[in-house]
Homo-oligomer: A and B are copies of this chain.
């Protein structure tokens, strides 16, 4: 399901987290589908179950998966797909802009601030 890059200097658990985040954001694994079990994935990747445990705990903390004790880990539906998350961010910016408009700000105020940043 995922492949580790041993030339990558980051910790293994971080790689596992990142790989699964992408799979979930791209919709390859979807809402309520089951994640591989901690032990089975540990065997498949030839790494220690504790390392998978740590990665799954991080994915749960970030809201990508949820755990049912005794059953396994499942994909959460709270995380939107990539495009939806992008839209959501733009919508939140619209709300900020509307708040600012009431204080007398213009689009140019916001755009100016963005443009003076490094890309």
A residues whose Cβ falls under 8 Å from a Cβ of B: 1-3, 5, 7, 23, 25-28, 30, 34, 61, 81-87, 89-100, 103-107, 109-111, 113-115, 117-119
The contact of A95 among B2, B28, B107, by CB within 8 Å, is B28
Given A86-B105, A105-B86, A114-B111, also A91-B28 (CB < 8 A) = yes
Q: Which of A7, A25, A92 has the most CB of B within 10 A?
A: A92
Residue on B with the closest CB to A1?
A: B87
Q: Can you report 21 A-B residue pairs in the complex whose CB atoms are below 8 A from each other?
A: A2-B87, A3-B81, A3-B84, A25-B103, A27-B95, A27-B98, A28-B95, A34-B118, A61-B61, A82-B103, A85-B103, A86-B100, A86-B109, A89-B96, A89-B103, A89-B110, A90-B110, A90-B113, A93-B93, A94-B114, A107-B115
In the bound complex, CA of A57 to CA of B53 (Å): 15
By a CB distance below 8 angstroms, the chain B residues around A61 are 61
Q: Is the CB of A87 within 8 A of B30?
A: no
Interface of A is mostly: helix
By a CB distance below 8 angstroms, the chain B residues around A113 are 90, 93-94
